[in-house]
A and B are shown apart, each in its own frame.
Chain A
Amino acid sequence: MTAAVWAVAAAAGWLYLAAAAGRSWPAGRTVSWLAGLGCAVAGLTGPLAAAHTDLHAHMAAHLLLGMVAPLLLALARPVTLLLRALPVGSARRVSRVLRTAPVRVLTDPLVATAVNAAGLWLLYGTGLLGTMLRSAPVHLLVSVHVLLTGWLATAAVLSLEPTPHRRGVGTRAAALAAGMAAHDVLAKTLYAHPPAGVTGAEAGAQLMYDGGTVVHLAVAGLLWRQWYRSRASVRAAALA
């Protein structure tokens, strides 16, 4: 319930800012934002989240929450919208926050990917999963953490927003591959050593592995398409 209220607020805020940004703001990004919020709500409150000890349903929810929703939210480019829609003074304050050391470190693709992977290993490698399945507040806290760190990692790898120091495509592709490897090894480990007190562990681990591959490949494709396009503009500038 709470999740739905937050999502409606996030959708309303977005529509307000998009209206302020004017006609130049692409509608596709708004669609992406709303779809991302929808996936997050489905992962947080739907029948998937209610099936407590079934790891298969749990993984479906986490795939939506930690991978699909983050990708859609990152593609929507919320920071860009904020900078474009806010009055100059407030926009300057936002970009000053973006330049502070903690934000710069956290949004580095290598750091963001490591934070995301470490969170997943903590959740599934320790007793935290059991605690989460039994307690509603812990469940919510962990779910929000999964959403936010997944978003952070995806946004850092794709680097679609204005950032002071953007890493090169090679570093970002390597960060993505490392995150994918950590995800794959964790999925196979869950298959080999299912956590205590859950059912459907093998199907859940397979879903985590296969679903993770699909989303990771989509992110890699977007990352390299971005590089391919940027090469075109570099060459056009060199020829001009």
Chain B
Amino acid sequence: MSAPTDAPAGRRRVLLSGLLLGLGAAGAIDEIVFHQLLHWHHFYDRASGAAGLVSDGLLHAGTWSATVAGLALLADVRRRRGFAPATWWGAVLLGAGAFQVWDGVVHHKVLRLHQVRYGVDLTGYDLLWTGAGVAVLLAGVLLLLRGRRT
């Protein structure tokens, strides 16, 4: 009975959960791989100044909060049996790709808060960083379109 009114709200929640988890996961992967494992990024860059401190703090708090919220929404969606894999994975990739592109373009190039790596020629790194983001984002959009048809 309630299926027709419930379905759009359920799909919205699947989308929101995926987007939040995608954003959160991209931030967490950035932090774990590039800060902790590779040490290409640092806890604090002498070069980055006040804007870098603020943006780092906001990103850290934002991505982790998004991860927890996304997981809770996912649990609720699964409990309602409203989980739609294509839509959810599409939203995850869209969120992660958007984060990566934002990081690569706005943080690295426009605001110049910090760079992918130090002491090397950046062109290849920048192309890979932002290109990977665009690819993930597009894959997410494709999956979302496919999820809508089914």
Chain A residues proximal to chain B, CB less than 8 Å: 173, 176-178, 180-189, 191-192, 206, 209, 213, 216-217, 220-221, 224-225, 227-228, 231-232, 235
Q: Which 4 pairs, one residue from A and one from B, show the smallest C-beta to C-beta distance?
A: A185-B57, A224-B72, A184-B57, A181-B61
Contact B65 A188 (CB under 8 A): no
CB–CB A217/B62 < 8 A: no
Of the candidates B44, B71, B80, the one whose C-beta lies within 8 Å of that of A224 is B71
B53 at the interface (CB under 8 A from A): yes
Among A181, A188, A228, point to the contact of B44 (Cβ < 8 A): A188
Q: From residue B75, how far is it (CB to closest CB) to chain A in Å?
A: 6
Q: Mark out the residues of chain B between 33 and 91 whose CB falls within 8 Å of any chain A CB in the assembled complex.
A: 43-44, 46, 53-54, 56-58, 60-62, 64-65, 68-69, 71-72, 75-76, 79-80
Where chain B touches its partner, the secondary structure class is: helix
B64 touches A192 (CB 8 A): no
Query: Hey, which chain A residues are within 8 Å of B60, CB to CB?
Result: 180-181, 184, 213
A residues in contact with B44, CB < 8 Å: 188, 191-192
Say how far A185's CB is from chain B's closest CB, in angstroms: 3
- Per the bound structure, the CA–CA distance linking A187 and B58 in Å amounts to 12
> Which residues of B are in contact with A by a Cβ distance under 8 Å?
43-44, 46, 53-54, 56-58, 60-62, 64-65, 68-69, 71-72, 75-76, 79-80
Assembly CA distance A206 to B75 (angstroms): 32
Residues of B near A181 (CB, < 8 A) are: 57-58, 60-62
Given A206-B43, A224-B71, A188-B64 contact (CB < 8 Å): no
Contact of A177 among B65, B71, B76, B80 (CB under 8 A): B65
Q: How far is the CB of A158 from chain B (nearest CB, A)?
A: 14
A residues within 8 A CB of B46? 192
Closest B residue to A206 by beta carbon equals B43
Q: Chain A at the B interface: mostly helix, strand, loop or mixed?
A: helix
In the complex, which residues of chain A have a beta carbon less than 8 angstroms from the beta carbon of B54?
Answer: 185
Bound CA span A206–B43, Å: 9
Cβ–Cβ < 8 Å partners of B57 in chain A: 181-188
Expressed in whole angstroms, the Cα–Cα distance for A149 and B150 within the complex equals: 51
| A184 and B72 contact, CB distance less than 8 A | no
Q: Are the CB atoms of B69 and A224 closer together than 8 Å?
A: yes
Q: Check B53 against A189 for contact (C-beta < 8 Å).
A: yes
Does A188 lie within 8 Å of B75, measured CB to CB? no
Give A32 Cβ to nearest chain B Cβ, in Å.
21
A48 → chain B, closest Cβ, in Å?
23
Question: When the two chains form the complex, which single residue of B64, B76, B79 contacts A217, counting CB atoms closer than 8 Å?
Answer: B64
For the complex, give the distance between the alpha carbons of A209 and B57 in Å: 9
Give bound CA distance, A231 to B9, whole Å: 14
**A185, B53: Cβ atoms under 8 Å?**
yes
Contact B69 A173 (CB under 8 A): yes
Would A220 and B68 be within 8 Å (CB), given that A188-B44, A228-B76 are in contact? yes
Contacting residue for B76 out of A178, A191, A220, A231, CB 8 A: A231
What residues of B have a CB within 8 angstroms of the CB of A178 in the complex? 61
Residues of B within 8 A of A225 (CB): 72
Instruction: Report the Cα distance A186→B58, complex, angstroms.
Output: 11
**Chain A residue, CB-CB nearest to B52:** A188
A-B contacts, 30 listed (Cβ < 8 Å): A173-B65, A173-B69, A177-B62, A177-B65, A180-B61, A181-B58, A181-B61, A181-B62, A182-B57, A184-B56, A185-B56, A188-B43, A188-B44, A188-B56, A191-B43, A191-B44, A192-B44, A206-B43, A213-B60, A213-B64, A216-B64, A217-B64, A217-B68, A220-B65, A224-B68, A224-B69, A224-B72, A227-B72, A228-B72, A232-B79
